[in-house]
């Protein structure tokens, strides 16, 4: 019987890891995944299909999708959605751009899709979010933008369609919470 090291298998996770945790990913793969994540962050308004992200990371599509979810806890598509919604919240709060302009500026091709997904994720329409932000504008004036952005970051640990189904059943509250 050959040892794990001799066969080239991944090392076992340390005993401090939680039961059921997957083995750690190779540092080279993590760097490539971070490269794809950084590209999505820098240009979240662009289309980022898995094929394009896998090419940036120099891995196969299936391996990229599986590894990204393992490394960051959510699939690449949900990560991109959180960044787009996060940017839209900031633009609604800090600019006078119309909702339509914000939708297109953050990468949505349809105003209807933007509004529906925005409401599904935040629990409020873009217009209602803007009104609330303007009403509370003086409260957030002294909070650094990066802290405010992190506090209002949407939590997409489940798919938007699954969240919509659960909300209709009344089993899931909205994912963003008001920060005072």
Query: Dihedral angle at the C-alpha atoms of 98, 107, 121, 30, nearest 10 degrees?
Result: -140
CA distance 36 to 177: 29
More confident residue, 74 or 142: 74
Decide if 50 contacts 76 (C-beta within 8 A): yes
Per residue in 6-64, pLDDT (tens digit) is 444 444 343 333 343 345 678 888 999 999 999 998 998 999 999 999 999 999 999 99
Decide if 59 contacts 29 (C-beta within 8 A): yes
Query: Domains of the chain (ranges plus CATH)?
Result: 26-139 (1.10.10.60)
Measured between its terminal Cα atoms, the distance across the chain in Å is 61
% of the chain at pLDDT higher than 90: 41
- The C-alpha angle 94, 48, 95, rounded to 5 degrees, equals 10
Question: In the block, which residue shows the tokens 């932000």?
Answer: 133
Decide if 78 contacts 86 (C-beta within 8 A): no
Decide if 32 contacts 58 (C-beta within 8 A): yes
CA distance 35 to 43: 12
Question: In the block, which residue shows the tokens 């050959």?
Answer: 2
Lowest mean pLDDT among 13-22, 119-128, 143-152, 156-165: 13-22
Decide if 36 contacts 26 (C-beta within 8 A): no
Residue 72, exposed/middle/buried by CB under 10 A (0-12, 13-18, 19+)?
Answer: middle
């Amino acid at each position: 019987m050959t040892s794990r090291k001799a066969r080239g298998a991944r090392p076992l996770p340390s005993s401090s890891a939680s039961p059921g945790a997957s083995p750690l990913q190779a540092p080279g793969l993590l760097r490539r995944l971070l490269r794809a994540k950084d590209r999505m962050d820098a240009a979240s308004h662009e289309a980022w299909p898995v094929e394009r992200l896998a090419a940036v990371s120099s891995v196969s599509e299936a391996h990229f999708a599986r590894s990204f979810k393992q490394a960051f806890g959510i699939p690449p598509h949900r990560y991109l959605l959180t960044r787009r919604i996060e940017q839209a919240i900031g633009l609604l709060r800090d600019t006078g751009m119309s909702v339509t302009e914000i939708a297109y500026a953050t990468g949505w091709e349809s105003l209807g899709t933007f509004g529906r997904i925005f409401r599904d994720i935040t629990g409020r329409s873009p217009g209602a979010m803007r009104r609330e932000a303007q009403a509370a504008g003086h409260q957030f004036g002294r909070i650094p933008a990066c802290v405010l952005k992190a506090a209002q970051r949407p939590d997409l640990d489940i798919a938007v369609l699954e969240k919509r189904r659960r909300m209709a059943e009344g089993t899931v509250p909205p994912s963003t919470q008001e920060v005072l």
